[in-house]
Amino acid sequence: MQKHIISALVVNRPGVLAHAAGLFSARGFNIDSLAVGETEQPEFSRMTIVIAGDEAILEQVRKQLDKLIDVVKVQDYSNVPHVERDLALIRVHTSVGRRSEILELVDIFRGRIVDVSRNDVMIELSGTEEKIEAMLDLLRPYGVREMVRTGRIALTRSARE
């Protein structure tokens, strides 16, 4: 099933997130990820929702979201040129002598070490979902102790002349 990225501009009021989330559960839509944050205008927030489903389901999600009074605009980014990013913080076990291997990987993936202790390091990595998955695959043999991800966020690219 195809994954879609839906971006919803919403009025920044209490209850909006609950309303959107409630809509997904009430109508049986399964969402992969949901990221919410303020936009350049503090009175609006942007929700980026990743959802898997066929065209009909996606159409309903889009229309039902648009019906919510506090939702200003809904866009499906699937067929629109856009930039998408996922941010992950990953704590990896570093046994003696293997830290440099990990540092090398972090370097290749253009990540950063943001915390170090005797037995582990915390890596910050941003990029597309595929990139983060690829990095994770390579880190697993060392022992991934903890991980958190933001879920995808996305914006459309500027229109080209």
Partner 1 sequence: MVRTGAKILVESLVEQGVEHVFGLPGGAVIALFDELYEAPFKIVLVRHEQGAGHMADGYARATGKVGVCIATSGPGATNLVTAIATAYMDSIPIVAITGQVKTHLIGNDAFQEADVTGITRPATKHNYLVKDARELGRIVREAFHVASTGRPGPVLIDLPGDVTAQEVEGEIDTAMQLPGYRPSAGGHVRQIQKAAEAINDSERPVLYVGGGVITSNASDELRELARKANTPVTTTLMGLGTFPETESLSLGMLGMHGTVYANYAVTNCDLLIAVGARFDDRVTGKLDGFAPHARIIHVDIDPASIGKNIEVEIPVVGDAKKILGDLVGLVEHRQREEWLGQIEKWKRDFPLSYGLDGDVVKPQAVIEEIYKVTDGKALICTDVGQHQMWAAQYYLYTEPRTMLTSGGLGTMGFGLPASIGAQFGRSDKLVFLITSDGSLQMNIQEMCTAAGNKLPIKIALLNNGYLGMVRQWQELFFNRRYSHTYLGDKNPDFGKLAEAYGATGILVERMDQVRPALERAMEIDDGPVLMDFHTAPEENVFPMVPTGHAIDRMFSGLA
Q: Are 10 and 70 in contact (CB under 8 A)?
A: yes
* Closest C-alpha among 9, 147, 10, 40 to residue 87: 147
Cα-Cα-Cα-Cα torsion 104, 110, 112, 116, nearest 10 degrees, comes to -20
Considering the complex, state which of residue 63 and residue 110 has its C-beta at the smaller distance from partner 1: 63
14 binds partner 1 (CB under 8 A): yes
Binding span for partner 1 by CB under 8 A among 21-29, 45-53, 112-120, 150-158: 21-29
Angle made by CA atoms 16, 132, 20, in degrees to the nearest 5? 10
User: What is the closest distance, in whole angstroms, from the C-beta atom of residue 25 to partner 1 in the complex?
Assistant: 9
Give whole-number Cα distances, 106 to 36, 39, 85, 131, 145, in Å: 27, 30, 17, 12, 16
133 binds partner 1 (CB under 8 A): no
User: What is the closest distance, in whole angstroms, from the C-beta atom of residue 20 to partner 1 in the complex?
Assistant: 10
CA 127 from centroid of its chain's CA atoms? 10
Considering the complex, state which of residue 6 and residue 121 has its C-beta at the smaller distance from partner 1: 6
Site string for partner 1, 72-111 (x = CB under 8 A): xx--------------------------------------
- DSSP-assigned letters across all residues of 42-65: TTEEEEEEEEE--HHHHHHHHHHH
Binding span for partner 1 by CB under 8 A among 32-40, 69-77, 105-113, 124-132: 69-77
56 binds partner 1 (CB under 8 A): yes
The site for partner 1 (CB under 8 A) is made up of 10-11, 14-15, 18-19, 22-23, 26, 56, 59-60, 63-64, 66-73
